[in-house]
Structure 1
Amino acid sequence: MINTKHWKNILIAGLLWAILPAWTQAQMNMNPYFTAISYPVDKQSLMLMAMPDFQTARYGNNFVTGMLMAEYGITSRWTVAIMTEGQKIAGMDAAYGGIRIGTYFHLLRDERLLNLTLYGEYEDLNGAALYKMEIAGFGSGDLTEPLALAREKHVRTFEQRLILYHDWNRLNVTFNFIRETFLQTPYGSDYGYALGLFFRSSWMGGSMKDMKGMEGMEGMADMTVPPVLSISRLGYGFEMIGALGNNHQFGFDWNAQQHYLGAVLQYTLSSHWSVRVEPSFGLSNVSDPFMLRTGLTYMFGTSTSKAMKKDQ
């Protein structure tokens, strides 16, 4: 069983760090990662994402998964999201995986040394859902039962995340502690993590320095736009995701949990469009050997209106 007192102490320590003043103020509110979360979306901005992945399976046939996501910034600290997913296993028909509805709220109004965000997500999935939006619990994520049976199996959970992140100029560092609570019998919870380290492109980093204290991409309006093919549009970093057991056995078990490490590359095409690629490799004995994660993002709203004029 989990030592509840131990984790309460860790949470209290995190909150104490979070209230310390930050060294920097501005941020670019666009998550570069595939699983980890850092920023809320800018106020009254809508971000649309298509994220197809190719995965070599540890057990069974290779497969392709896909996630469609829409995120909207109700305020500068409060974001809501809706996601739907599906997959295509080699030799089988495409299958619908289910829907997710999430929201996350940045607790502290001002930037701090550690920015604290709470996340909640209702998941109405089925047994055929294979997209790795998070990793938790034990075992392989591959589909081992017949597809027709998996589609009929309902998996309803409530995901919670404690998100801590900070920016040092162009560098973003984030850590997500993940808990997945089952809403059907047998009740219980699985645990996981996601962490990321990412250097924004010099174009994005420059806009933050020049427009300190302003939200989103407005600072780009006063910057010289680099050529379409330019290294200054490229951001880079890494992301690591994995499982931490469940409420019966918490911690690392390398032979029974999935863990992945990937290199994140993000290229900003314009004030609205960006593309991401993450070749990711399984680290444990039950992880899929390889994933090629890709993403196409379109963002529009009040936070991009000035930058849009500059690009025209």
Structure 2
Amino acid sequence: MSTPTATFAGRTVSRIGYGAAQLDRLRDRRGEAVALLRRAVELGVNHVDTAEFYGFGFANAVIREALRPGDGVLVVTKVGADPDPGGRLPLRIAQRPEQLRASVEDNLRGLGVDRLPVVNLRRLDSGPGLRAEGDQVVDLDDQLAVMTALRDEGKIGAIGLSSVTLDGLRRALPAGIACVQNAYSLVSRDDEDMLRLCAAEGIAWVPFFPLGGAFPGLPKVTEEPAVHAVAGALGVTPSQVGLAWLLRHAPNVLLIPGTADLAHLEANMAVGDIAFDDAADGALAALDAVESRSSEVPIGEPGRAS
């Protein structure tokens, strides 16, 4: 199985990682969750994306149990929302500087570490999801000030941004940005200019919703006729085509597909072996020609972050 690599936060990582958000589906089968993560490591995963608000800390607890120091896994977490198990909704927006600092401390405790290698600041500026209101409307510079202070203190190693605009990224560049996580897929390519800027600046591009369609109103990669045609020609699934296109599209793309299913995990990892040159002539051009539709779709209710 091929495992293409790239440099991220000073480390060489597989370009196919694992997103831990769906681990909560195994809450009542914790042993299976640990085994799934161990299998991911065996398959070459050395980049795991998580957050303390995934499953009210369940994902971080599984990562803490499953991963070993010798595995060499880069664990990336995020702040900007907090778990709210006693509330009407499971999450609450937490954008204020003191909340970001508290969220970093929560992730440190949940993962059982003294330092978080990379922490993504989850803004609410773009893509599907809520927009901040009231005292949760916080200037990016104020947020970066606390994030850089935490980095100076040694509590975090590098800073990433999520759901950020192109102007926001440009403002943040002097602080040193390791990665950007925005909603991006074959069918939602609003951020092409930002992707190019990241490539020029050596910033990893880590798309969430890499197959689109996570919420009603968003286009789905797996519903595109061109995707199905290429999948048929290659003998793979439409989902694998969508992920493989992302890897081919830009060299700084890192994937973090999530799953709670072992077979699905193995299918995701096999994406590195897909070569569009093995399909019918014009396969890649047909995919590149798929119409891009905006992912700017409001999701959820006040207090909930996607």
Q: TM-score, normalised by structure 2?
A: 0.26
Indicate the structure (1 or 2) with the bigger Cα radius of gyration: 1
Structure that is richer in strand per residue: 1
